[in-house]
Amino acid sequence: MTNFDLDPRTPVVVGVGQFAESLDAPGYQRLSAVDLAANAARGALDDTAADTASIAAAIDTVAGIRQFEISSPGWPAPLGKSDNYPRSVANRLRAAPARAILEVGGGQGPQHLVTELSAVIAAGDSEVALVFGSEAISTVQHLAKAPDKPDFTEHVEGSLEDRGFGLAGMSSQQSRTHGLTDAPSQYALFDNARRARSKQSRAEYASAMGELFAPFSKVAAANPYSSAPVERSAHELVTPTESNRIIAEPYTRYLVAREKVNQAAAVLIMSVAAARRLGVPEDKWVFLHGHADLRERSLLDRQDLSRGPASVMAAEHALEVAGIGVDDLATVDLYSCFPIPVFNICDGLGIDPADPRGLTLTGGLPFFGGAGNNYSMHAIAETVQRMRAQPGAFGFVGANGGTMSKYSVGIYSTTPVPWRACHSARLQAEIDSWPAPERAVHADGWGVIETYTVKHDRNGSRTGVVIGRLEADNRRFVAMTETGDDEILDRLSTGEPIGSRVYVRSFGFGNRVTTTEGRMDQLFPSRPAVFRDEYAHVLVRRDGHLLEITINRPEVRNSLHPPANEELAEIFDAYFADPDLWVAILTGAGDKAFSAGNDLVYSASGKPRWIPKTGFGGLTSRRDMPKPVIAAVNGFAMGGGCEIALASHLVVADETARFALSEVKVGLIAGAGGLIRLPRKVPANVANEMILTGRRLTAVEAESYGLVNRVAPAGKALEAARALAAEILDGSPTSVRISLQVMKETQGIADTFDAVTHQSPAVEELLVSADAIEGPAAFAQKRRPQWKNR
C-alpha cells in the first residue's frame, strides 16, 4: 500500500519533541511544568519540517498528562500550578484548540492518548491532535523554600475535559492500613513472588536484576535528556552502599524509578489529509500498526502475585493487531519503573532479558528518569525517531500505570497501514471475569506467606509487609510487622520466607504478623476487661449497678480520635464483662455536643487513623451488646456521634439536641453503620434525606420518627437517662439480658411464626436462674425483689 492509497482520515504521527533541564546545567531556567511541556511541543512542531505557525493554528485537540502534583487529591504544589494545564501549553504555542483533555493518572497515559486520539482522527472527529506531558519535580523541590521562588500559578479560560485522578482500583483501605502506600513496597511484592516462583536465591535474583538494568544505565548515559546519565555495572546497581541504600527488599535505590526530573515530551498526530495539506513530508510519517489497552485486577484481587497477565495480554494483542511477531520487532521499550514490569513482559512474550535489541530506547525510569506519568511519551518520541531511521522496521512501546495495573501498548512503523481497531474491550471483559481470592479483612490465626517485602527507612528502621493465606479457609490477608519485632523481620530478610507459616492477629489498627502465637502474645499481651483508675479522654462513674460514661473532649465538641475511641472500646469491654454493672449511660461533656463524630482536625493532621474492631465509640461494630446502653444526647449528635446513638439500645435527648449524618458535607459517608441503621429506624424518605443532604433532625422530630425514646428539657438529658436507667434497673437484669439476646437471635427471621417459635438456649438459662425464682417469690410475698443477675 502506498501513501496515496490511504484513507485521508488515517492517523499518522508526524512530530515528536523532548526537552529537559538540570539544576546544575549552564543556563538553568527554572522552568515550570507548563514551560517544559511547551518547549517539547515546539520541538514536536519543528520536527514536522513544515510551517509551525500553520500547524499550531490547525491543532484542534490538545491532551495533557497529569503531573504528580495534580495526580492525587491533596497533593501540594509548592510553587503553584495551572488550573488548565493543556490550555496553558496551547497558549504558549498560540494554538486555540476546540478540545482540551487532562488525562487520568498513570504511566499508561501517553500511549493510551496516542491510541485514543488516533482513533478519533480515523473516525473523522479530529484532524490535528497534540499530546504532551511534563514534570518539574526537581525544580519544585529545589526552589520550594527559596526566598525568591517563582510562582507557577496560572488561571486559564476555556473548556477542559478533566478525566479525574483515575485512582479507582489503584489502592484500598486495606492496603493503606498496612503500609502499602508507596510504589517500591508494592512492586517489591511482585518481584519477591517472581523470585520464589523461579526458585532463585536472593543473591541470584539480585544478580538478575542488576544484569537487567545495567544495559539500561548504559543507554541513559548516552541520552542527552537523561536525568542520571551514569553507566553502572550490574554489581554496583544491586550492592547496598550509603548512596545505594535498600528501599524495600529486594530494591536498592538504583533499581527504583527516579522521580526528581525536569523533563517533557510531546507527540503530534494528524490525519493523512491534514499532513498533506500542511506540507508535512512523508518521510516524517510514522503509523500506529498495533495497539491495546488493558487493566489488571486490583492488587489484592490477583490470583498470582508473581505475574501480570493483563499486561502480557495487551502486548500479545497489539502484536496480533499489527500482524507481526516478537521476532519482527527492531526496537523495544518496556516501562521500567522497577525490574518486575520488564521481567513480566519478557516472561510473557518469551524475550530474553539480555536480548541484543535491548529493552529500552531512553535508558529507563531509574536512569533516564521516571518523568511522573509521562515517561512513555519519551519512549514514543525515541521510537518514532528510530522508525524513521529504519524505514519499514517495527518498534514496540509498552506503557505501565499504577501497580502493574494498566498497560497500554503501541507498535510503530513507517510502513503505511490503514487504521485498525483492537479488541481490548472483549479481552477486558475476560480479565474482569477472573475469580479473585476471598479476603480476610480481619485476619486471625495461622497463615502461609504468599509474598512480602521489608521497607527500610533512612534512619535504619525496618517494617515488614506480608500478603498470605489463612490456613483455616485460604482467605487472603495483608499484615504488617510490629515495631521492634526482629524475630519476624529476620525471617523475612533471610532465606526463603514465601511458603512458610506465620501467625496473624487483627486489631482496630490493622493486622499484625509474627512467627508464632506465643510471640504474638508477647507483643500484644491480652488486656483484662477491667476499668482503669483514670482515662485521658473519657470520664467514668459507677453508681451501684449503673455506669455513666462521659466523652470528655468538649473543646472539640466531643469528637473522637483514635485514642478516645480506644478508651471507649476498653470501657465498654469492661462494662459488658462486669456482672455487677447492669445499665450504662453514654453522654458528652458540656452542653454543646453529645459527639460531633470523627475528629476531622486530627484526621487531617497526617497522624495514623483507625477505629477499634468494636467500632466507632467502641460500639458501632460490636457484635454482641448483652446489656443496655442508653445514649444521653445533649446538643449535637453529628456524623459518628449520630451513629453511636443509632447503635445504642435507647436514646434520651434534651430539646436542644440535633441528629445528623453529615458526612456528605465533608466528602465522606456514614460508614460506621449509619447507612444501615438509620433506614431501619426511621421512614425511608426521612433516612434518604438525612443521608443525602445532611439534614438535621430536632429532638422532637427524632422522637416522632422513633429515633429517640424520650425528650427532656434543655440540659436535662442525663437526668432523664438516669430516670430511664432506674426503670430498667427495677426489673431483673437477667430478664433484661435474656430479652436482648432473644431479640438479637430472632432479628433476621422474616417469618413471624418462625421467630415466635424460635427455641433460644437463652430462655433455658433464664428458667434456671436465681432471678426467675426470686421474681415470683417477691411478688407472692409482696416485697421488692432482690435481683442477683444469675
Active site residues: 643, 663
Sheet containing 329-334, strands listed edge to edge, beginning at the edge strand earlier in sequence: 287-295, 406-413, 394-401, 329-334
Q: Which amino acid is at 397?
A: V
* Three-state secondary structure call for residue 490: helix
Q: Which amino acid is at 585?
A: I
Residues 6+ apart with CB under 8 A from 108: 293, 376, 399, 400, 401, 402, 406, 407, 408
99-102 and 161-162 beta bridge pairing: parallel
Q: Which amino acid is at 544?
A: G
Q: Give 531-562 as a DSSP string.
A: --S--SSEEEEEETTEEEEEE--GGGTT-B-H
Distance CA 536, CA 577 (A): 22
Q: Residues 386, 348, 328, CA angle at the centre, nearest 5°?
A: 35
Q: Which amino acid is at 495?
A: G
Q: Which amino acid is at 259?
A: E
Distance CA 188, CA 211 (A): 17
Distance CA 636, CA 660 (A): 8
Distance CA 671, CA 653 (A): 23
Angle between helices 309-322 and 424-432 (to 10 degrees): 160
Length reported for the chain: 790
Cis ω before 250 (30° cut-off from 0): yes
Handedness of CA 768, 774, 775, 776 (dihedral sign): positive
Residues 6+ apart with CB under 8 A from 773: none
Residues 6+ apart with CB under 8 A from 64: 37, 85, 86, 89, 100, 101, 102, 103, 131, 132, 133
Distance CA 99, CA 124 (A): 14
CB atoms within 10 A of CB 489: 18
Beta bridge partners of 454: 464
Contact between 787 and 733 (Cβ < 8 Å): yes
Cell representation of residue 471: 490456613
Distance CA 126, CA 107 (A): 24
Distance CA 459, CA 745 (A): 53
Q: Which amino acid is at 590?
A: G
Distance CA 154, CA 34 (A): 9
CA dist 586 → 49, 444, 483, 650, 670 (Å): 77, 31, 34, 10, 20
Question: How much of the chain is in helix, strand and coil states, percent to nearest 5?
Answer: 40, 20, 40
Handedness of CA 134, 140, 141, 142 (dihedral sign): positive
Q: Which amino acid is at 118?
A: S
Contact between 253 and 247 (Cβ < 8 Å): yes
DSSP letter, residue 525: P
Q: Rounded to the nearest 10 degrees, how much is the dihedral formed by the CA atoms of 245, 251, 254, 258?
A: -110
Residues 6+ apart with CB under 8 A from 554: 588, 589, 590, 592, 593
Residues 6+ apart with CB under 8 A from 69: 75, 76, 77, 81, 140
